[in-house]
Amino acid sequence: MNKWIGKIKEYWKDPVWSKVIAAGIIFILGTIYAIIQSIVSKISFLDIPESIYGIIKKVITLPLWILLLFSAAFLIFTLKPIVSFSKELIDKIRKPKIVNQKEKIPNATENSTVLFSYRMAKAFPGVRDLVWFNEPCEAKKRLLLLLTKPLRFKNGSFECESDPIWWFRGGSSLYIQKFEKLRNNKVLMNIDQLKIKRIASYHGNSYYRDFVYVETTGEEQTGIYKMTLDEIKRQIEYFGYSREEYGLIKYFWFWRKPISREHYDDGATIIRGKVVNADDAELRVRYISDYNFIIAAKGSPYNSAKFDKESKRYLNGILKGEIGV
């Protein structure tokens, strides 16, 4: 008996099952009422529903404020469990599976140039020399194939790097540890939000020279910094592109609110006049102007002082239409 009572209590706490149980209770009580009414009123049991229907049809005059009060109470007690259940369901769907980190990251077993050449063949089959992919959607799909997981490895060495795939641009470079798809031909590469415009794949006779040229389209500002056109032009003249750094904080369900880099660094922000903890915020970079870079193996010739020195002039010239790839 205690076991059944415990089960009923467990189901009653569930927003959906509680409604099913409540409907069952109402049905049972209604049936008991119909039987008692049939005995007391000395009318047929089958006539009871008609009698109840007649009561329901009666017009009752109520003040408007009472009607509104009961309507509000009904909405609160009805919608609250539904909203709660919906949030729990979304959280369960979006909650990532917990995987043992040691099992998730494989050992590094091959040189970065070999691994990257293998990835290039899988993402761009049949490509030889330089081939363009000018359709943003197709370019995004090819990059997702190239940069599929895993991107980081453990127990790396000089011959078998643990961070085999990097991006390079005019003295700036970093290994790629995350590459995910977003909406509207956008991707997230590490902390950079990129709106893909076109790519060019180079797969030549020397496997260690393979690379992918990536060009992105500038996006609208988040509105946090409100940079003027003159400020954007100055950034482009100095760096070759314009960008803004900001944080993303979970604000309501799956909606995220951008916050300034200063608030991200401080671990707190202000929303509607209140200080809100921002320790869980994610750092983001958005490019306000067109931007470009190349993706290649860590051990490729592009990872060199010569490329660092010369590539900025080339990549900036491509964006200006002065130099061809």
- The HSE-up count of residue 319 (CA atoms within 13 Å, CB side) is 22
- Convert the pLDDT of each residue in 252-305 to its tens digit: 766 789 999 999 999 999 988 999 999 999 999 999 999 999 999 999 999 999
For residues 238-269, one letter each, b for 16 or more C-beta atoms within 10 angstroms of the residue's C-beta and e for the rest, the string is ebbbbbbbbbbbeeeeeeebbbbbebbeeeeb
How far is Cα 210 from Cα 295, in angstroms, rounded to an integer?
Answer: 9
How far is Cα 308 from Cα 260, in angstroms, rounded to an integer?
Answer: 30
Which residue type, as a one-letter code, is found at position 196? I
Q: Mean pLDDT throughout 207-221?
A: 96
How far is Cα 109 from Cα 303, in angstroms, rounded to an integer?
Answer: 21
Q: CA dihedral in degrees (23, 27, 28, 29; nearest 10)?
A: 100
Asked whether the CA dihedral 137, 141, 147, 148 is positive or negative, the reply is positive
**Number of neighbouring beta carbons within 10 Å of residue 289:** 18
Q: Say whether pLDDT at 218 is over 90.
A: yes
pTM of this prediction exceeds 0.75? no
CB 169 within 8 A of CB 306: no
Q: Could you tell me the two tokens for 154?
A: 């453990």
- Convert the pLDDT of each residue in 116-128 to its tens digit: 999 999 999 999 9
Q: Given this model, what pLDDT does residue 240 score?
A: 94
